[in-house]
C-alpha cells in the first residue's frame, strides 16, 4: 500500500492551514496595516468570538441538525449575565457559572423539544430563536446593562503577549482543546458522534440517542453563552442588539467556520480544529479585504468569491489525495 | 375521505378554515375586502419565494441564496429601467436571465464538485448580495414605469389584486411539474435517494441543475414582483426571505432531507404564516410580545401538521449523507 | 506638528441616509485642506462588522473617525480604544450613551425629533384623534427613546390624542409592507394620524397611503427618501422630519481636523443635552411640509453654514 | 463469431486501498443462466456495476454482441438492453409501486403529462407476471422487505431487456417466493431468449437453475464459464474458498426442564402481538422461525423497549424486569441485539471499522473522566475481529467501503466484544458467503456453549435446523408452535411448515 503522503496532509485541516498561511502572506505584503500590533490584536478578538460561535453550531450540526437560535440564545445569556452583575450585584465568577448554566438550560429546551416532539431542530430552533429573543427584549425592555464590574470589562480589553493577543482568543483555543479531547478521547464524545452519524444503529448498540442529542444542544447553548460572555466583555456592556436582530449576525460566522472546517452537514463528524481554522480564515479574509481597499460595497462579493475558491481548492486537494492513495 | 386525511394539505386546510373563522368572529375586519386584498398580496409574494425554496428542498438540498438572487434581480430590473431607460419587457427578460444564470451557477457548481449546496449557496449568497451592494452602493432606484406600479397596486375585481396572477400560475405549474412530469418525479426520486436514482439512470447533473435554475427563476420573479409591490427597487429586497422560505414548505409537510414536498400544502403554509403575522397586527399584540407569539405559533403550526408523521420525521436530518 | 488629518466617516451599515456623507467629506477636503475624508461603509448592519472595519481603518492610517454608532452603548468600547491610541472620534447622526470617550455627538436627537414630529402631527390633527406609531428594531435603544418621545408628546396634548397601536421591528421593506398594510386594513378607518420614526416604515407607510389614495389620514414621516418627499408634494403625507446628513459629514470632518490640530472644547461650550449625552450639538432637524418641501435643501445649507460660521468661537479653544 | 452476448475481458478495477477486480474475465452465453459466485468482497457486485455503467473499469474491455462498448452511465447500459437488480434496494420509498416500476419510462398522455392510470395498468401487468398480489398504488415503504425485493425484480423485467443481471435477488425471499421466481426465470430464458447473470450465496439455488458458473476469488477468476454439470457442491465450495466446506451441527444437550433465563409471559404489544409466551434457557439457542412478516423482529424490538408492550411481563431469572431502551438492555441486563438491517441499524457506515466494532464496549472500557482512546478499544475488539476474519485493509477503513459480508461480520463482532448474556440474532447470514456463514454458525454454537443464551431469528430453514435447540414458530404476530429440534431436516421442516399452514 502506498503511504507516501502523511495522513495529516490528507485532511481538510491541512488545506485550510495552507490557505491561512497563503492569505497571511498576501495580506502582509500587499497592505500596510495588516501586521500592525493594533490590527493583530483586533483580529485576535474577532477570531476568538467566531471560533466560539462556530463551535456552538458545530456541536449541533454533529446531530445532523442546526441551531438557528444560537445568536438569540447567546444574547439572552449575555443579558442574563448583565442583569446578574448590574442589578443583582452577583460576583463575576458566580455570574459566569450562572450564565453558562442558563445557556445550557436554553440549549436543553431546544434539545428536549426536538427529541420529544420529533419536529426537526431547524424548525424548533427557528421558533425558539423568536421566543428567546422575544422574552429577552420583553424582560429587558431593550435596555442595555452597561455598569458592569470593571474587572470584567477590563478583561475584554486586556492585551497579552507583547500586546498582540487578546485573552479571549486564549479562552477559545483552550475550548477547542477541551472539545477535541472530549470528542477524541472520551466515551461520551464517541457516543455523541455515533449518535449523530446513525441514530438508529447507535440506539440499537445501546446508546441513548435522545440523551446524546440533548447533550449536543446543551453543549451548543453552553458555548453560545460563553460567546455571549466574551462579547459582553469585549464591548463592555450587555446589549440586546449585540448579535443583531434575532441574533442573526451570529449565524453566518456560525455556519462558515464549521462548514469550511470540514464538518459534515449530515452529521456524525466533527472537526474542532477545522472549525478553528475556518473561523481564522474567514476573519483574515474579511480583515484583509477591508485593508486592501476593494471598496467596502464589494467586500461581500470578494468574500464570497474567496470562500467559493477555498471550498473548491479543498475539493481538489481531496481528489488529489484520494487519487494518490489508489493501489496500482 | 381517508384518502383526503392522508394528504399533507388536509390538516393545514382545516387549521386555516377554523383559524380564519375564529379570527373573523373576534375581528370582523379580518374578512373585509381590503384585508383580504392585503392578505392576498403578501401571500402572492411569499408563495413564489416558498416555491423557489421548495423545489430545492425536493432534491434534498437548500438554497440559502434565494433572497440574494431576488435582490440582485430586483435592482437589476429597476436599474435597467431607470439608468438605461429600458422598456419593461426586455428588463423583465434580462431579470429572468440573471435569475436563471444565478441558479445555473448554484446548480452547476454543486453537482460538478459534489460539495453540499448549503455551502455553495452560502458562498454565492455573499457573491450575489455583494454584487447588489457594489452596483447600488445601497441606494434605491425609484424610477419605476407606471405600468409596473399599476400591476403592483391595482385590483382585477373585488379585492383580487393583479399581483396574484403570476403566483397562481406558478403554483399551478409547480403542481404539474412535481406531480405530473418526469422531471418533477425524478427530482423527488433524487431527493429520496441519490444513489438509487443514479443507479436507476436518472442524471444527477440534469436534475440538480434544473432544480437550481427553476429556483433561480422563481427567486427572480419574486424579486420583480416585490418591486411591483413596493414600487421601488431597494437593495434590501430579499433580505428577509430566508426563514419564511423554509417555514412554509416545512409547515406544509416537506422533509428537509429531501424527496417529500407538497405544492398545495406549501401554499397553505404560506397562507398560514401570512395569517399569523397579520393576526398579530389585527389583535394589536404589544410589540414586545410579537416575537414570542410568532415563535409559539410556528411551533404550534408544525405540531398540528406533524404529529401523525412523528415516527418518520423523528430523526431525519437536514442534509442527506454526502 | 500633527500631520495631515485623515478622517473616516463610518455609517452603521449600508443605508441611503448616509449617502450625502461621501460628498460632504470630499467637499471638506477641498474646503478645509484635510488629507482625506473618506466615506467607508461596513458590509452589513452589524456592530461587529463595524468594529472590524474601524479597526482596519486605523491600520490603514486614518487618524480621526466619525461614526454612526452601530449601537449607542456598544460602540463606546471601540471609541475608547481609539481615543487611547490618540485617535479622536465623534458620534455622527446618532449619539452614543455617556460615559463615552467620543469628543462629542453631532447629529439628530432621535428622541427629540420623534417628539417634534408627533407635535406637528397633533397640530395637523387639530389636537385630537387616534394615532399609530411605526418604528424600527426594538433592540435598537433609539427605538425605545422614540416610543417614549411619541408617548410624551401625546400625553402633553391633553387627552384628545390617543396612541392606538405601535408597530415595531419593521426595518426591512417586505415585513414593513405586510404589517403596515395589515394595519391599514384593520384600523385604517379608525386611525386619524400616523407618525413614523424610522426610514423604512416612513417609506412604506407613505407608499401605502399613496396607493390607497387616502388623504384623510395625516402622516408625519422621517428623513428624505424620494417616496416620502413625493407623497408630501402629492398631498398624501403631511410632512417629514428632516435631518442634515450633508452638514453632519461636512462640519464633522472640519471639527475633527481642528481637534487634531490641538483645539480643545471650551469649558463653557453651550452643549445641548439629550437622553443619551450632554455633549450634543444639533445638526439641525427641520420639519418640512408641502410648503417648503422643494426648498428644504437651501434651508439645510443655511443651518449648516450658520453652525460652521460660529463653531470656532462658540465651542473651541485653539492654540494660536 | 462467438455466441456470447456479453463478454468482459481482463477487467481491473481499483478503489482507494482496494483492488476489487484483477484481470477478471466473464462471458455470458445467449439463453443461459450464468452464476457469478465468490466470497464476500470477491468483486461480484463490482463486476455487475461495471457492466451497468455505474463504475468505469480501470483496465479491460467489454463486448456486447461482439461489439466493444463502454457505458458511462446506467442509462446507457439500460438503453443497450441490460437491466439489473442491484444488491442494494433501489426503490424510491415514498413513491408507489407502480411508479417505481415505470420510473425510467413513465407513460405520458397527449399533453406530455404523466398518465397515472396507464402507470397502474402497465405496472399491474408486471406484478401479475411475478404473481404478486400488490396494488400498484401501494407506497413502497409500506411493503415488507420481501415484497420490495420482488417489486425490484418486476421492475427489471419491465424493461424487457435481453440481458438480466440479478445480484442476490433471493436474499430476503421465502422459499415459496424463490421457487416462483425460478420458474419465471426459466420461462424467460426459454420463451424470450433472455440471458441471465445470477449472483447468490445459496448454492442449492445455483444448482437448481444455472447452466454455467464463473467464480471470483479476490477479484481474480477462480474459474471461468464452467458447465454446472461438471461441478458439484464440494468442488464449487473449494473454488470459492480454497478449501472444503465444514458442516456444523449443534450437539448440545439442553435440559429443557431447567428454570428459564428469560421468560416472556402473555405479551401483547402496540404492534399487534397477541399473547406471546416464550422462554429461553441458559445456554440455549432458541430458534424463532416464521415467514417474512411474521412479526419476529418487531417482537424483539418491543422487548428492547423500542415499541410499547401493552400487557404481560418479562422475567429475567424469575424477576420481573422493565427494559426501557436498548441501552438499558445492554447495560443493566446484558442483552444485545444483532439487527437484520445492517446498513440502517447495524452499522455506522461512515465510521471506521474500529469505532463500529467497539461501540458496544465503550461504556465498559471508559476510564476516569470517561477517558477512552483507540488503543484501549483496539485491544478489546481485535480478537473478535481477527476471529471473524474480517477482510479490511486496516481498522481505519470506512465501513461502507467493505463488502456486504464483511460489514455483517463487523456488526456481529461488536456484540461478541460486548459479552452479553443474552443475544438476539436476527437473520445473521443474509448475503453472507458460505465460508463466513459456517464461521458464524460455529461462532453462534460456541457462544452458546460458553453460556450465552441466544434467540435466533432466521428465515433460512437449513440454518435454523442446524443451529437451534428448540424452534418456536410464529405467524401473524402469534406463536403457533414449538418443537424440540432433532436436527433431522426432513422431519423438522415438515413439522414447522405444518405449524405455519395449519
Ligand atoms: N465504492 C467502493 N469504494 C471502495 N471500495 C469498494 C467500493 N465498492 C466495493 N469496494 C471493495 O471492493 C471489493 C469488492 O466488493 P464487491 O461489493 O464487489 O464484493 P461482492 O463480491 O459483491 O461481495 P458480497 O458478496 O459481500 O456482496 C471489496 O473489498 C469492497 O470492500
Ligand atoms: N402482508 C403484509 N402487508 C403489509 N405489511 C406487512 C405484511 N406483513 C407484515 N407487514 C409489516 O411489515 C413490516 C416488516 O415485517 P418484517 O418482514 O420485518 O417482519 P419479521 O417477521 O420481523 O421479519 P423476518 O421474518 O424477516 O424477521 C412489519 O412492520 C409488519 O407489520
Ligand atoms: Mg455484492
Ligand atoms: Mg425481520
Task: For C45-72, write each residue's pLDDT tens digit.
Answer: 888 889 888 988 888 889 999 999 988 8
The pLDDT of residue D246 = 62
Whether A3 has a pLDDT exceeding 70, the answer reads no
Interchain CB contact of A63 with C (< 8 Å): no
Q: What is the mean pLDDT of residues C17-26?
A: 91
Q: Do A297 and C41 touch (CB under 8 A)?
A: yes
Task: For C242-290, write each residue's pLDDT tens digit.
Answer: 988 999 999 999 999 999 988 888 888 888 888 888 889 988 888 998 9
Chain B nearest-CA residue for C230: B142
Candidates A130, A209, A259; nearest CB to B295 = A130
Whether B125 has a pLDDT exceeding 80, the answer reads yes
* d(CA D259, ligand 3 centre) in Å: 44
Confidence of residue A325 (pLDDT cuts 50, 70, 90): low
Whether D440 has a pLDDT exceeding 50, the answer reads yes
Q: Report the C-alpha gap between D19 and A327 in whole angstroms.
A: 7
Same-fold call for D4-241 versus D246-334+420-431+454-502: yes
CB-facing half-sphere around the CA of C226: CA atoms within 13 A? 11
Instruction: Tell me which residue has its CA closest to atom 7 in ligand 2.
Output: D293
Share the mean pLDDT of chain C. 89
Taking CB atoms and an 8 Å cutoff, what residues of chain D touch B315? none
Global pTM value = 0.89
Task: State which of B63-72, D110-119, D134-143, D185-194 shows the largest mean pLDDT.
Answer: B63-72
Q: What is the mean pLDDT of residues A6-28?
A: 83
- Determine phi and psi for C129, rounding to 5 degrees: 145, 175
Q: Report the C-alpha gap between D232 and D240 in whole angstroms.
A: 12
Candidates B140, B235, B282; nearest CB to C186 = B282
Residues 13-32 in B contacting C (C-alpha not used; CB under 8 Å): 27, 29-30, 32
The pLDDT of residue B322 = 39
Whether B315 has a pLDDT exceeding 60, the answer reads no
Confidence of residue D400 (pLDDT cuts 50, 70, 90): confident
Confidence of residue A58 (pLDDT cuts 50, 70, 90): very high
Confidence of residue A4 (pLDDT cuts 50, 70, 90): low
Whether B312 has a pLDDT exceeding 80, the answer reads no
Residue corresponding to grid cell 434575532: A246
The pLDDT of residue B104 = 98
Ligand 2 atom closest to the CA of D340, numbered from 1: 27
Whether B311 has a pLDDT exceeding 70, the answer reads no
Task: For C152-164, write each residue's pLDDT tens digit.
Answer: 999 998 888 999 9
Q: pLDDT: is A328 or D260 the higher one?
A: D260
Candidates A36, A236, A297; nearest CB to C14 = A297
Confidence of residue A289 (pLDDT cuts 50, 70, 90): confident
Q: Report the C-alpha gap between D188 and D208 in whole angstroms.
A: 16
Interchain CB contact of B196 with C (< 8 Å): no
Interchain CB contact of A304 with B (< 8 Å): yes
Task: For A160-195, write each residue's pLDDT tens digit.
Answer: 887 788 899 999 999 999 999 999 999 999 999 999
Q: Report the C-alpha gap between B155 and D252 in whole angstroms.
A: 87
Cβ-based neighbours of B100, under 8 Å, separated by 6 or more: B213, B216, B217, B220
Sheet with D309-316, side-by-side order of all strands? D276-281, D260-269, D309-316, D319-321
Cβ of D425 below 6 Å from ligand 2: no
Task: For D262-294, write each residue's pLDDT tens digit.
Answer: 999 999 988 889 999 999 988 899 999 987 678
Q: pLDDT over 70 for what percent of chain B?
A: 93
Of B48-52, C191-195, D466-470, the one with minimum mean pLDDT is D466-470
- Contact (Cβ atoms closer than 8 angstroms) between residue D285 and residue D278: no
Residue corresponding to grid cell 417586505: C174
- Determine phi and psi for D215, rounding to 5 degrees: -115, 135
Instruction: Tell me which residue has its CA closest to atom 9 in ligand 2.
Output: D293
Whether D404 has a pLDDT exceeding 80, the answer reads no
Q: Which ligand is nearest to the CA of D408?
A: 1
Q: Do C174 and B235 touch (CB under 8 A)?
A: no
Q: Report the C-alpha gap between C8 and C31 in whole angstroms.
A: 17
Instruction: Tell me which residue has its CA closest to atom 25 in ligand 1.
Output: D40
Cβ of D457 below 6 Å from ligand 2: yes
Candidates D14, D331, D362; nearest CB to A187 = D362
Share the mean pLDDT of chain D. 87
Q: What is the mean pLDDT of residues A49-70?
A: 94
Chains C and D are in contact, defined as 3 or more C-beta pairs closer than 8 angstroms? no
CA of A229 to nearest chain D CA: how many angstroms apart? Answer: 27
* Ligand 1 mutation pick, D403, D410, D411, D437, max ligand atoms within 8 A of CB: D403
Q: pLDDT over 70 for what percent of chain D?
A: 96
The pLDDT of residue B3 = 67
Chain B nearest-CA residue for A138: B288
Taking CB atoms and an 8 Å cutoff, what residues of chain B touch A255? 118, 122
Q: Do B37 and C185 touch (CB under 8 A)?
A: yes
Q: Per-domain residue ranges for chain D?
A: 4-241, 246-334+420-431+454-502, 342-419
Q: What is the mean pLDDT of residues C229-233?
A: 93
The pLDDT of residue D446 = 85
Q: What is the mean pLDDT of residues C290-300?
A: 86
Candidates B179, B201, B260; nearest CB to D94 = B260
Chains touching A by CB (3 or more pairs below 8 Å)? B, C, D
Whether D175 has a pLDDT exceeding 90, the answer reads no
Q: Do A142 and C143 touch (CB under 8 A)?
A: yes
Candidates A204, A209, A318: best to mutate against D (most CBs of D within 10 A) is: A204
* d(CA D86, ligand 3 centre) in Å: 8
Share the mean pLDDT of chain B. 88
Cβ of D397 below 6 Å from ligand 1: no
Confidence of residue A155 (pLDDT cuts 50, 70, 90): confident
Give the helix/strand (H/E) hosting D414. Answer: helix D404-418
Candidates C19, C43, C182; nearest CB to B38 = C182
The pLDDT of residue C1 = 47
The pLDDT of residue A100 = 97
Confidence of residue A326 (pLDDT cuts 50, 70, 90): very low
Q: What is the mean pLDDT of residues D132-148?
A: 87
Cβ of D458 below 6 Å from ligand 2: no
Q: Report the C-alpha gap between D280 and A223 in whole angstroms.
A: 49
CA of B181 to nearest chain D CA: how many angstroms apart? Answer: 5
Enumerate residues with CB within 5 Å of ligand 4 (an ion).
D 297, 340
Candidates D327, D345, D372; nearest CB to A207 = D327
Q: Do A144 and C44 touch (CB under 8 A)?
A: no
- Contact (Cβ atoms closer than 8 angstroms) between residue D345 and residue D339: yes
Q: pLDDT: is D295 or B124 the higher one?
A: B124
Q: Where do the H-state alpha helices sit in B231-322?
A: 242-251, 263-282, 287-306, 310-313
Residue C91 per-residue DSSP state: E
**H/E/C letters for each residue in D46-86?**
HHHHHHCCCCCCCEEEEEECCEEECCCCHHHHHHCCEEEEC
Give the helix/strand (H/E) hosting D175. Answer: helix D175-192
* d(CA D235, ligand 1 centre) in Å: 24
Whether C297 has a pLDDT exceeding 80, the answer reads yes
The pLDDT of residue B305 = 65
Cβ of D400 below 6 Å from ligand 1: no
Instruction: Tell me which residue has its CA closest to atom 24 in ligand 2.
Output: D292
Task: For B194-250, write each residue's pLDDT tens digit.
Answer: 888 888 888 899 999 999 999 999 999 999 999 999 998 999 999 889 888 988 898
* Ligand 1 mutation pick, D14, D36, D43, max ligand atoms within 8 A of CB: D43
Q: Which CATH architecture has domain D4-241?
A: 3-Layer(aba) Sandwich (3.40)
Whether B313 has a pLDDT exceeding 50, the answer reads no
Q: What is the mean pLDDT of residues D202-214?
A: 91
Cβ of D403 below 6 Å from ligand 1: yes
Whether D98 has a pLDDT exceeding 80, the answer reads yes
Instruction: Tell me which residue has its CA closest to atom 17 in ligand 2.
Output: D293
Quote the ipTM score.
0.87
Whether D61 has a pLDDT exceeding 50, the answer reads yes
Topology of domain B31-316, CATH: ABC transporter involved in vitamin B12 uptake, BtuC (1.10.3470)
Whether B69 has a pLDDT exceeding 50, the answer reads yes
Task: For A215-252, write each residue's pLDDT tens digit.
Answer: 999 999 999 999 999 999 988 889 888 888 888 889 88
CA of A82 to nearest chain B CA: how many angstroms apart? Answer: 20
Domain annotation for chain A: domains and CATH numbers: 35-323 (1.10.3470)
The pLDDT of residue D244 = 66
Q: Report the C-alpha gap between A240 and B288 in whole angstroms.
A: 13
Whether residue C99 has a cis bond before it, omega within 30° of 0: yes
Give the class (CATH, top level) of D246-334+420-431+454-502: alpha beta
Whether D245 has a pLDDT exceeding 80, the answer reads no
Instruction: Tell me which residue has its CA closest to atom 14 in ligand 2.
Output: D144
Whether A327 has a pLDDT exceeding 50, the answer reads no
Q: Where do the H-state alpha helices sit in chain B?
A: 2-6, 8-26, 33-58, 66-83, 88-113, 117-136, 146-153, 165-180, 182-192, 194-200, 204-230, 242-251, 263-282, 287-306, 310-313
Q: Do A235 and C77 touch (CB under 8 A)?
A: yes
The pLDDT of residue C11 = 93
Q: pLDDT: is A294 or A59 the higher one?
A: A59
Interchain CB contact of B234 with C (< 8 Å): yes
The pLDDT of residue B317 = 56
* Bridge partners of residue D18, in order along the sequence: D15
Strands C239-242 and C64-67: unpaired
The pLDDT of residue D433 = 80
Q: Report the C-alpha gap between C171 and C178 in whole angstroms.
A: 12
The pLDDT of residue A280 = 94
Amino acid at each position: 500500500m502506498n503511504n507516501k503522503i502523511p495522513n495529516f496532509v490528507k485532511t481538510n485541516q491541512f488545506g485550510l492551514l495552507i490557505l491561512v498561511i497563503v492569505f497571511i502572506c498576501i495580506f502582509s505584503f500587499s497592505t500596510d496595516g495588516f501586521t500592525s500590533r493594533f490590527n493583530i490584536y483586533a483580529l485576535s478578538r474577532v477570531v476568538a468570538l467566531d471560533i466560539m460561535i462556530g463551535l456552538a453550531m458545530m456541536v449541533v450540526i454533529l446531530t445532523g441538525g442546526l441551531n438557528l437560535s444560537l445568536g438569540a440564545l447567546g444574547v439572552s445569556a449575555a443579558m442574563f449575565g448583565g442583569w446578574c452583575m448590574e442589578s443583582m450585584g452577583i460576583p463575576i465568577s458566580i455570574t459566569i457559572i450562572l450564565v453558562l448554566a442558563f445557556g445550557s438550560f436554553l440549549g436543553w429546551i431546544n434539545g428536549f423539544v426536538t427529541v420529544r416532539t420529533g419536529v426537526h431542530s431547524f424548525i424548533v430552533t427557528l421558533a425558539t430563536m423568536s421566543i428567546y429573543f422575544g422574552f429577552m427584549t420583553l424582560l429587558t425592555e431593550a435596555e442595555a446593562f452597561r455598569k458592569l464590574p470593571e474587572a470584567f470589562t477590563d478583561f475584554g480589553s486586556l492585551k497579552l503577549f507583547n500586546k498582540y493577543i487578546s485573552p479571549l482568543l486564549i479562552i477559545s483555543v483552550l475550548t477547542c482543546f477541551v472539545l477535541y479531547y472530549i470528542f477524541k478521547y472520551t466515551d461520551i464524545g464517541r457516543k455523541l458522534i455515533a449518535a449523530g452519524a446513525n441514530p438508529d444503529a447507535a440506539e440499537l448498540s445501546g446508546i441513548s440517542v435522545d440523551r446524546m442529542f440533548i447533550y449536543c444542544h446543551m453543549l451548543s447553548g453552553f458555548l453560545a453563552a460563553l460567546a455571549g460572555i466574551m462579547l459582553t466583555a469585549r464591548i463592555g456592556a450587555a446589549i440586546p442588539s449585540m448579535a443583531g436582530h434575532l441574533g442573526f449576525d451570529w449565524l453566518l460566522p456560525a455556519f462558515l467556520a464549521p462548514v469550511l472546517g470540514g464538518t459534515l452537514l449530515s452529521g456524525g463528524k466533527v472537526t474542532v480544529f477545522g472549525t478553528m481554522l475556518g473561523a481564522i480564515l474567514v476573519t483574515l479574509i474579511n480583515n484583509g479585504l477591508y485593508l486592501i481597499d476593494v471598496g467596502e460595497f464589494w467586500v461581500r462579493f470578494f468574500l464570497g468569491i474567496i470562500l467559493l475558491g477555498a471550498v473548491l481548492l479543498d475539493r481538489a486537494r481531496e481528489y488529489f489525495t484520494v487519487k494518490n492513495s489508489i493501489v496500482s | 375521505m381517508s384518502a383526503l386525511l392522508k394528504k399533507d394539505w388536509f390538516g393545514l386546510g382545516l387549521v386555516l378554515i377554523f383559524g380564519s373563522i375564529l379570527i373573523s368572529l373576534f375581528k370582523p375586519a379580518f374578512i373585509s375586502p381590503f384585508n383580504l386584498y392585503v392578505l392576498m398580496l403578501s401571500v402572492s409574494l411569499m408563495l413564489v419565494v416558498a416555491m423557489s425554496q421548495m423545489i430545492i428542498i425536493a432534491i434534498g438540498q437548500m438554497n440559502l441564496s434565494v433572497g440574494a438572487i431576488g435582490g440582485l434581480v430586483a435592482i437589476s430590473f429597476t436599474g435597467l429601467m431607470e439608468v438605461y431607460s429600458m422598456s419593461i419587457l426586455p428588463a423583465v427578460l434580462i431579470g429572468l436571465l440573471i435569475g436563471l444564470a444565478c441558479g445555473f451557477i448554484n446548480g452547476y457548481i454543486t453537482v460538478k464538485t459534489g460539495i453540499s449546496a448549503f455551502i455553495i449557496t452560502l458562498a454565492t449568497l455573499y457573491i450575489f448580495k455583494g454584487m447588489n451592494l457594489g452596483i447600488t452602493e445601497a441606494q434605491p432606484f425609484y424610477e419605476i414605469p407606471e405600468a409596473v406600479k399599476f400591476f403592483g397596486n391595482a385590483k382585477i375585481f373585488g379585492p383580487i389584486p393583479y399581483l396574484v396572477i403570476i403566483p397562481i400560475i406558478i403554483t399551478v405549474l409547480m403542481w404539474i411539474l412535481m406531480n405530473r412530469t418526469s422531471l418533477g418525479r425524478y427530482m423527488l426520486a433524487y431527493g429520496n435517494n441519490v444513489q438509487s436514482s443514479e443507479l436507476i439512470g436518472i442524471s444527477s447533473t440534469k436534475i440538480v441543475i434544473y432544480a437550481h435554475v427553476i429556483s433561480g427563476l422563481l427567486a427572480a420573479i419574486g424579486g420583480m414582483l416585490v418591486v411591483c409591490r413596493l414600487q421601488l427597487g431597494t437593495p434590501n429586497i430579499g433580505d428577509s426571505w430566508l426563514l419564511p422560505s423554509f417555514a412554509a414548505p416545512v409547515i406544509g409537510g416537506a422533509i428537509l432531507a429531501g424527496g417529500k414536498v407538497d405544492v398545495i400544502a406549501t401554499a397553505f403554509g404560506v397562507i398560514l404564516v401570512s395569517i399569523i403575522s397579520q393576526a398579530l397586527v389585527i389583535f394589536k399584540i404589544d410589540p414586545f410580545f410579537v416575537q414570542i407569539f410568532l415563535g409559539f405559533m410556528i411551533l404550534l403550526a408544525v405540531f398540528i401538521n406533524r404529529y401523525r408523521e412523528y415516527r418518520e420525521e423523528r430523526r431525519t436530518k437536514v442534509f442527506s449523507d454526502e | 506638528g500633527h500631520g495631515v488629518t485623515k478622517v473616516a466617516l463610518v455609517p452603521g451599515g449600508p443605508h441611503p441616509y448616509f449617502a450625502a456623507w461621501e460628498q460632504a467629506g470630499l467637499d471638506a477636503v477641498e474646503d478645509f485642506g484635510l488629507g482625506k475624508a473618506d466615506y467607508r461603509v461596513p458590509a452589513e448592519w452589524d456592530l461587529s462588522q463595524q468594529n472590524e472595519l474601524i479597526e482596519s481603518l486605523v491600520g490603514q492610517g486614518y487618524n480621526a473617525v466619525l461614526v454612526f454608532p452601530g449601537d449607542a452603548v456598544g460602540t463606546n468600547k471601540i471609541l475608547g480604544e481609539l481615543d487611547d491610541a490618540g485617535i479622536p472620534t465623534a458620534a455622527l447622526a446618532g449619539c452614543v450613551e455617556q460615559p463615552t470617550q467620543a469628543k462629542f455627538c453631532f447629529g439628530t436627537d432621535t428622541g427629540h425629533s420623534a417628539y417634534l414630529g408627533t407635535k406637528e402631527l397633533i397640530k395637523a390633527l387639530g389636537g385630537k384623534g387616534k394615532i399609530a406609531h411605526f418604528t424600527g428594531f426594538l433592540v435598537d435603544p433609539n427605538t425605545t427613546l422614540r416610543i417614549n418621545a411619541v408617548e410624551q408628546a401625546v400625553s402633553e396634548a391633553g387627552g384628545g390624542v390617543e396612541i392606538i397601536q405601535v408597530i415595531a421591528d419593521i426595518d426591512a421593506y417586505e415585513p414593513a409592507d405586510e404589517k403596515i398594510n395589515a394595519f391599514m386594513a384593520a384600523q385604517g378607518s379608525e386611525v386619524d394620524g400616523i407618525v413614523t420614526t424610522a426610514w423604512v416604515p416612513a417609506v412604506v407607510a407613505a407608499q401605502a397611503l399613496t396607493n390607497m389614495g387616502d388623504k384623510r389620514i395625516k402622516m408625519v414621516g422621517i428623513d428624505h427618501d424620494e417616496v416620502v418627499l413625493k407623497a408630501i408634494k402629492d398631498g398624501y403625507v403631511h410632512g417629514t422630519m428632516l435631518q442634515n446628513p450633508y452638514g453632519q459629514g461636512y462640519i464633522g470632518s472640519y471639527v475633527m481636523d481642528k481637534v487634531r490640530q490641538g483645539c480643545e472644547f471650551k469649558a463653557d461650550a453651550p452643549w445641548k443635552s439629550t437622553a443619551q449625552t450632554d455633549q450634543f450639538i444639533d445638526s439641525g432637524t427641520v420639519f418640512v411640509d408641502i410648503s417648503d418641501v422643494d426648498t428644504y435643501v437651501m434651508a439645510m445649507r443655511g443651518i449648516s453654514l450658520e453652525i460652521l460660521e460660529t463653531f470656532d468661537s462658540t465651542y473651541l479653544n485653539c492654540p494660536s | 463469431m462467438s455466441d456470447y452476448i456479453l463478454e468482459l475481458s481482463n477487467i481491473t478495477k481499483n478503489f482507494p486501498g482496494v483492488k476489487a477486480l484483477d484481470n477478471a474475465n466473464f462471458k455470458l452465453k445467449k439463453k443461459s443462466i450464468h452464476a457469478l459466485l465468490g466470497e464476500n468482497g470477491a468483486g461480484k457486485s463490482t463486476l455487475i456495476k461495471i457492466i451497468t455503467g455505474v463504475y468505469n473499469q480501470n483496465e479491460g474491455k467489454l463486448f456486447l454482441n461482439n461489439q466493444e462498448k463502454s457505458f458511462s452511465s446506467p442509462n446507457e447500459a439500460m438503453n443497450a438492453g441490460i437491466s439489473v437488480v442491484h444488491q442494494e434496494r433501489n426503490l424510491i420509498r415514498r413513491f408507489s409501486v407502480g411508479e417505481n416500476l415505470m420510473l425510467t419510462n413513465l407513460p405520458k398522455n397527449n399533453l406530455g403529462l404523466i398518465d397515472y392510470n396507464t402507470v397502474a395498468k402497465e405496472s399491474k401487468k408486471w406484478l401479475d407476471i411475478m404473481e404478486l398480489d400488490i396494488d400498484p398504488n401501494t407506497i413502497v415503504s409500506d411493503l415488507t422487505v420481501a415484497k420490495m425485493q420482488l417489486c425490484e425484480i418486476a421492475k427489471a423485467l419491465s424493461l424487457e431487456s435481453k440481458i438480466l443481471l440479478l445480484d442476490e435477488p433471493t436474499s430476503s425471499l421465502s422459499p415459496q417466493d424463490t421457487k416462483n421466481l425460478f420458474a419465471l426465470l426459466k420461462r424467460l430464458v426459454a420463451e424470450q431468449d433472455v440471458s441471465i447473470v445470477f449472483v447468490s450465496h445459496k448454492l442449492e439455488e445455483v444448482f437448481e437453475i444455472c447452466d454455467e458458473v464463473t467464480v471470483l476469488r479476490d477479484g481474480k477468476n477462480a474459474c471461468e464459464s464452467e458447465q454446472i454439470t461438471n461441478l458439484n457442491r464440494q468442488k464449487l465450495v473449494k473454488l470459492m474458498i480454497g478449501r472444503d466446506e465444514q458442516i456444523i451441527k449443534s450437539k448440545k444437550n439442553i435440559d429443557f426442564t431447567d428454570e428459564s433465563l428469560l421468560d416472556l409471559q402473555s405479551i401483547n404489544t402496540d404492534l399487534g402481538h397477541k399473547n406471546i409466551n416464550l422462554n429461553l434457557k441458559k445456554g440455549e439457542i432458541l430458534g424463532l422461525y416464521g415467514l417474512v412478516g411474521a412479526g419476529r423482529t418487531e417482537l424483539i424490538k418491543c422487548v428492547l423497549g423500542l415499541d410499547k408492550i401493552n400487557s404481560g411481563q418479562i422475567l429475567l431469572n424469575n424477576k420481573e424486569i422493565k427494559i426501557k431502551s436498548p441501552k438499558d438492555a445492554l447495560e443493566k441486563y446484558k442483552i444485545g441485539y444483532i439487527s437484520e438491517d445492517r446498513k440502517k441499524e447495524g452499522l455506522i457506515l461512515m465510521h471506521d471499522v474500529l469505532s463500529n466494532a467497539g461501540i458496544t464496549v465503550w461504556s465498559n472500557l471508559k476510564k476516569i473522566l470517561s477517558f477512552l482512546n483507540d488503543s484501549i478499544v483496539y485491544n478489546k475488539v481485535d480478537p473478535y475481529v481477527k476471529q471473524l476474519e474480517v477482510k479490511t485493509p486496516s481498522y481505519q477503513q470506512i465501513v461502507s467501503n467493505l463488502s456486504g459480508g464483511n460489514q455483517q461480520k463487523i456488526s456481529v463482532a461488536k456484540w461478541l466484544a460486548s459479552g452479553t448474556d443474552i443475544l438476539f440474532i436476527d437473520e445473521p447470514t443474509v448475503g453472507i458467503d458460505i465460508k463466513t456463514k459456517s464461521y458464524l454458525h460455529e461462532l453462534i454454537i460456541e457462544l452458546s456453549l460458553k453460556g450465552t443464551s441466544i434467540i435466533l431469528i432466521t428465515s433460512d430453514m437449513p440454518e435454523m435446523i442446524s443451529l437451534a435447540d428448540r424452534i418456536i414458530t410464529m405467524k401473524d404476530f402469534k406463536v403457533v408452535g414449538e418443537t424440540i429440534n432433532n436436527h433431522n431436516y426432513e422431519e423438522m421442516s415438515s413439522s414447522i411448515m405444518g405449524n405455519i399452514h395449519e
